[in-house]
Structure 1
Amino acid sequence: MGLPKLQIALDNDVLSEALYSITQVGDEVDVIEAGTILCLAEGMEAVRCLRALYPDKIILADTKCADAGGTVAKNCALAGANWMTVICCATIPTMKAALKEVQDLQVELYGDWTFAEAETWMEAGLVQVVYHQSRDALFAGETWSEVDLNKIRQLVAMGFKVSVTGGLEMETLRLFAGIDVYAFIAGRGIRDVANPRQAAREFKAEIKRIWG
């Protein structure tokens, strides 16, 4: 079982705010995500700026692409993204087209996806998935459950690199002890606290304590 990565989600509305946020924690995290909100508000300029600031980091464009996979992925790659996301309801041809243009692709798990569908993603060469508690679900009061954890375990057993996200705080990490999580994706739990750099360090220390 490897040490999970720490990914920061920049879901800022404004590029200047995202850049301020990342300067607080960019050296502490493993993956820098230009979040969906940021990509919609500022386009690929957000990715270009993140790449210029952090030439050696993994940069993810969280496009949640549903169509035109090859074109969207090519634009992300040209801007400097290593990885991109597609939504789980995208067709296999869309996913395959996107995967040809970027180093790796994450399938975002929303709605009523099935493990049978997951097998088709694996067969198509996609090995990363992101298991969510969505923003809207969290705002509605939903929390991580044993049902969620069992689904994550099954995806790991199938051979997927599973990242998890959704209202993660340092205290949440212990819920996933014993599961081979690929990355923890945190946003507000690091970005919006009084000392983001210290928060990122504490996240990584807790990850090392549990999985080290």
Structure 2
Amino acid sequence: MALPKLQIALDNGVLSEALASISQVGDEVDVIEAGTILCLAEGMEAVRCLRALYPEKTILADTKCADAGGTVAKNCADAGADWMTVICCATIPTMQAALKEVQDLQVELYGDWTFELAAKWKQAGLTQVVYHQSRDALLAGETWGEKDLAKIRRLVEMGFKVSVTGGLEVETLPLFAGIDVFTFIAGRGIRDAADPRQAAREFKAEIARIWG
């Protein structure tokens, strides 16, 4: 079982704030995400800046693309993104068109997706999915539970590289012990910490302890 990666989600609404955040933790994480909010607010300039600052890191554009996959993905790739996200309700042709333009594509699992649909993604060549506890669900009081872990295990068994996100803290990570998680995606749990660099290091240390 490989060591899970650590991804920082930059969901800042202003590029200058995102750059201030990443300057504290960019060297500590494996994947740098230009979050949906940041992409909507600042466009592909956010991706260009992250690529210029971190030429050796994996850069993800979290577009949650629903249509025009090839065009959106080409824009992301031209700006320097390695990976991009599509929303699970996008058509398979949209996903395949996007996958032709970027190194890899993540399918964001929201709403009423099914395992039958996931099997079709796999057949179409998609290999990454992101399992969410959404921000709105967390605000409504939902927490990680066995129902989530069972779905993640099944996706892993189907052959997907599964990333997980949504209110993750260092204390949350032991819940996933024994599961072949591809990437843990943390946002506010790192960005809003009193010492973001130390918070990222604590995430990495706990990942190494559990999966090392």
Q: Which residue of 1 aligns with 2:92?
A: 92
User: Which residue identity lines up with residue 132 of structure 1 in the other structure?
Assistant: H
Map 1:1-212 → 2, pairs under 5 A = 1-212=1-212
**Which whole-Å CA distance do the structure 2 matches of 1:109 and 1:78 have between them?**
26
Q: Which whole-Å deviations, capped at 9, do the CAs of 1:153-186 have from their partners, x for residues lacking one? A: 0000000000000000000000000000000000
The number of residue pairs the alignment matches comes to 212
Distance 2:63 2:5 in 1: 20
**Runs of 4 or more above 2 Å deviation:** none
Give the partner amino acid of 1:19: L
Deviations 1:37-69 (A, max 9, x none): 000000000000000000000000000000000
2:106 is paired with a residue whose SS is strand
Q: What CA deviation, in whole Å up to 9, does each residue of 1:102-151 have, x standing for no partner?
A: 00000000000000000010011100000000000001110001000000
The 2-side partners of 1:48 and 1:83 are apart by 13
| Structure 1 SS opposite 2:181 | coil
AA in 2 matched with 1:44? M
Structure 2: distance between partners of 1:170 and 1:119 = 32
The whole-number CA distance in structure 2 between the counterparts of 1:102 and 1:121 is 16
2-structure distance, mates of 1:75, 1:178? 38
SS at match of 2:62: strand
Q: Secondary structure at the match of 1:93?
A: helix
Q: List runs of 5+ in structure 1 lacking aligned partners.
A: none
**Distance in 2 (alpha carbons) for counterparts of 1:126 and 1:41:** 28
Q: Secondary structure at the match of 1:182?
A: strand
State TM-score, norm by structure 2. 1.00
Taking only aligned residues, the RMSD between alpha carbons, in angstroms, comes to 0.3
